[in-house]
Structure 1
């Protein structure tokens, strides 16, 4: 571990609640969100405590819906020295919106966060990594809105997202915006997803540590990790009317995530997207 311990990597959190996720969008509409008891405030504060114990700074991609309801939470994230970025407003996939809808959704989130914190919001992540082949115009829209970087693509094959033949490492796009893809590792002729989320919960921790270390040694690139506050919440309500596939994706190994996260924070070095990739206004 010593060879890669000094490599600085990006820790990121997509700040949304359990009822926002794409896995449940067939059974829960945005009009229904207020019917659920939110858990995102408490779960995110738990993460802040974990990060503080390990001296880690993170980038929090905040959903505008959450920021409007929990302004003090967002202020606390900022007060503790973490980077606040945008996750859009209503957790609609960019691929399911036209340019006008997308721009309005992202502007609403960005404007609210900026008014709340009194500083420019420069980073964006699309829900479900939903910028791809059919909506590259989204990068132009983000540039027009004043964003400096995006982390909205995942170069893998997946039923909900994926741009497997797009760049795997941070790069400057023709729209003059930096795109920071979710990391993959080339193994056996395939690009293996290693960026976090459900894969982090599914893989044994020893495998995750091996894959991250292999990536750092082989690619000589920073690694970035993402997850959600609900992933440390094993007591969240079970939505039994969701499909078996969606239930598995969402609930698998929730009880182990916090312990795995603690080990990940200890085994590697972490900071914000802004610091790791040098992306700032």
Structure 2
């Protein structure tokens, strides 16, 4: 599969030269002239690596990195490399604290640029392969558990089924009895957690009201049945408060399968 690289650079000629060099090496290249444009691209596009200038108008490189790491969790594992004409110790420390993966100085040494990109992409591939192997082991352990006991009954609650369709398919493949419930029907299905082994809810205002009702009625404690799937609007304090009030688990976007399978495995072992 061709790797996609986003190049964020405000100098038109340099941006064009980098894109041409990357295209000649077989990469697919997306471009942006500043951090504001880059964020808009990353809201809608998948990329495998980000090259970003530090000194740019509107939104600079440091702010771009901060926004990507804090607000676009779907790109958490994407290597981020700064292109910079200044690389003081303070600049490097600031970038490292924000989660930058590497620095390349200007003028660009294209041999070094390509070597760095290939090394970072290879590192991501190795991590991904390790995670896939781990996921396979948990998946196989789950299938073994299901041969020993009754299938788990699981409800999935969201405002659109497409958001959790991959989770639904994976759980059905494991032999679970899976039911999708639109969040608008929670008012009529207040006992949905009571009648299922696990209940996965994608956080929203309506889901928050539903959970508040369970907490008020003191029907969440001691269960461990409720799993809250948290988008980037759910801050750490809210998650901690919900767990303290009896919500069983929280999983952050993009809802890694390994985390979901761990919870399924634990529930299967408790049957």
**Which is higher, the Rg of structure 1 or of structure 2?**
2
Structure (1/2) with the larger strand percentage: 2
TM-score, normalized by length of structure 1?
A: 0.31
TM-score, normalized by length of structure 2?
A: 0.32
Ranked by relative contact order (alpha carbons within 8 Å, sequence separation 6 or more), the top structure is: 1
Structure (1/2) with the larger helix percentage: 2
